[in-house]
Chain A
Amino acid sequence: MEAEAELERLVVALATALRAAGVVVPVGAVIAFARAIGALAPTEPAGLYWAGRATLICHREDLEAYDAVFAGLFGSLPPPRLPAARPRLVTVAAAGEGAVPGADAAGARLGAYSHSERLWQEDFARYGEREWDEAKLLIDRLRAPLQLRSSRRLKRARRPGRVDLARTVRQALAHDGEALLSSYLVGGERPRRLVFLLDISGSMKPYARAFLRLAHAATAARGPRQVETFVLGTRLTRLTRPLSERDPDEAFEAIGRTAPDWYGGTRLGDGLAAFNSGFGARGVARGAIVVFVSDGWERGDPALLGSEMARLARLAHRVVWVNPHQASPGYEPLAAGMAAALPHVDDFVAGHSLGSLEELIELLGQPARVVAGGRGGSRVAIR
């Protein structure tokens, strides 16, 4: 039937446009959407809008993109229905020509989203304010992949087996049954804490805000007890508390109030020493995954940085060094600080673009590996 084919095209167009806007839309969701339309038999765009929202979207963060895409296809969003209008009869004309615009309209609008693909690879240092305005929202979205994954455990839920009652009955009776019950209690696996150490010296200026935004997304995804953030300037400042503000812009305002010394010189070794003997020793870094974001340009003594890195490596489960300058053509980890730190690093990765942030997140979900250190191909020794 004509109308059916039309709807089908529309379903696909909406899903395609959403994907182009960066929303993850699995095939199962598209099928659910089609079924929802079947059940609802919408005769006005509002029904379509809500059916799509309920089936294609599963994150609040994606609602904005959904609205934009929907408005792009239909010219506008369905007007909200007022409560006063509630007990009325449905008096809507049957869907006909023009009531449901075709998929062609989608094509014209898609161009608007394709430049976000370019944005994905662009170096943060080359961003203008417009790019940043868009990118920061994309970083907020990285929240979803930062969630703790449990795909391994999703396969099979644990079930208690049959208790050997005969063997434990005497013991249990002596303890009011306590012993029996405790044999069923299974301890859950605790996720590893994530610790961000961000270098905020002058040379890191184009990158710092992106990583702070990422730290915010991580904190929002896992909670402030699971994610700690510190910045290293001429001194160490803990930003965990301000970053736990839910709204990113509020978080940045709050950071402003804690007044870290932005974009001055760095003494990475001193800052790291302060971290190690303070928060680090008190348990923040113990067993954690530490993400150290810095280009390794050290104003202080590289030897100190080296020995403090060794200390950090002993405390932490894993140390990932992110160097935004690593992607620059011809970069070699020659900065004296960088060279001193490398032997104590598990992973050495770039961090200059949205794409590399995404790779970093993926890496955080994997076991430690040895990574080639920049273009020169010098391998990072694993400790």
Chain B
Amino acid sequence: MAPAPHRILRVKRETHDTFTLTLEVPEEAGGEFAPGQFSMLYVFGVGELPISISGDPGVPGQLVYTVRAVGKATGSLVKLRAGDWVGVRGPFGSAWPVEAARGKDVLIVAGGIGLAPLRSVIYHVLNNRDAYGRLTILYGARSPKDLLYRVDFRSWSRQMDTHALTTVDHGDLRWRGRVGVVTTLFRYVRLVPERTIAMLCGPEIMMRYVCAEIEKNHQLPASQIHLTMERNMKCAAGFCGHCQFGPYFICKDGPVFSYERMKPLLGIYEL
């Protein structure tokens, strides 16, 4: 229930508003997590907020989070420096179906900060390269200055049997890459529906378009598509009620769900 103090080892600036914090895990805390899980990070006196673990599950002793400063708590979180302390509760929630995906092709579709919770699954697939088939990563950001993990991305795209594509909604003068929403990247990929597991994270509206695209145009059954949901969270333990989405508590039933379970609810206005 009470957060455990963790020391910040490094803060890396990813973009103008997004930073990656690496925390040292105290011995007694363990630090194990499954890709897709999140923690509640406590900033002294400011608040506690849900942040996905974006680090490499194969590297023990540290917890990595990528935070986009959008308000009060995230704003003060990214102002912290190496040596500062944050409180950590967790990890909480469901994980990406990395076991079910064994032996299959993996399709990753991310929008904006949504790449953060998916990065840990990308690490997992690359750490266990032989256990998985083709890895496809489709990533859309608002503009070139919002692109996360540029170094990682270049290295992913050079891996064997890996296809990593980026697009931006709006380019700038120097941008030579693709322009358009993330669904436009689907014209470059061919999926084998029987052996593909898709994992999606991004704004809800984007995920709905992507789900429709891969279900209709690529014949992927809804049960093979997984996505993460985001709702207000105060406790992460099923007590505060804030994260409810129809019958589900996003904090303990999710945040990762199959599209099969989310589909009947996603279209309901203001649910």
A binds B: no
Q: Spell out B's residues near A (CB within 8 Å).
A: none
Q: Spell out A's residues near B (CB within 8 Å).
A: none
